[in-house]
Amino acid sequence: MQPIRRLAFVINEQKTGAPELAQLLMATAREAGVEIDHTARFPLPDGFLKGADACCVIGGDGTLLGVVGAAAREQVPVIGVNRGSLGFLTTFSAEEARAHFAGLLTGAYRIATRALLDCSTGPGQHDLALNDVVIKDEVNSRLVRLEVVAGDELVADYHCDGLIFTTPTGSTAYNLSAGGPLIHPTAEVIAMTPVCPHTLSNRSIIFRSDIKLRVYNRTASSRLLVAMDGQRNLAFCQGSLVEISVSPLKLALVQRDDYSHFAVLRTKLQWSGGAASAEG
């Protein structure tokens, strides 16, 4: 890959060890002659990523999710360094970052492109999500009634606590906790998982990536919430429409050349099977 000559750092200073690690990695970049900029502000300052060859995010998955929109629009690859807990998106541990950062700067990495969901609740109410779009009652206290249409075909009228629409990347997040499927990140699909459905036969549905989904609020006298990646909220009322589709924009994630998706799953989800037993 191309060497990195201009690098933007986004640092979550609330994460233990993040400021110190950032200082070390920035010093490594300076020694390599890389032009750097850095911020600890959220949301990102306007235009912060413009012209950067890459963005190094030091924090947890939530920190990385906060830069998704800007990185996708500017087509800036993201290096995620985990100083949080689970870290599915921030694929470099602090130790891996220290060991491999100089190599990354010279181009020793690969790019994985990840699909984004485009969600609209009306004119001017629009956002992107890397993990998921969740629709639920605004105060989270009762069942909602949601009518889902895929293309021109009615899917179902759901009575549930909410609906999760997830990308393959986000399948390891809320979707997994709600009993939804794990999906390989390169699969071109959207998954929909009902949360605590009133009808127990309601289960996850996998849609092809070119489908346009429409969700109507059929809940009487209710204002619903649309949560984007668990961070940014849109709202809509009875009779209103939510439209969800795969965005033409993609997020570029920087990974090591030897990155293995299933190795990450085995580690993060504490699966008992490992490489040795698979060969066995």
| H-state helical runs in the chain | 18-31, 61-65, 68-74, 94-106, 174-177, 261-268, 275-279
Catalytic residue chosen out of the listed positions 37, 46, 53, 61: 61
**E strands present in the chain:** 6-11, 35-39, 54-59, 78-82, 110-122, 125-129, 132-137, 144-150, 153-160, 162-166, 189-195, 205-208, 213-217, 224-228, 232-236, 241-255
Q: How far, in whole angstroms, is CA 202 from its chain's centroid? A: 25
Q: Among residues 65, 53, 43, 75, which one has the least CA distance to residue 8?
A: 53
Annotated catalytic residue 61 = yes
Contact 42, 64 (CB under 8 A): no
Contact 45, 74 (CB under 8 A): no
Catalytic site residues? 61
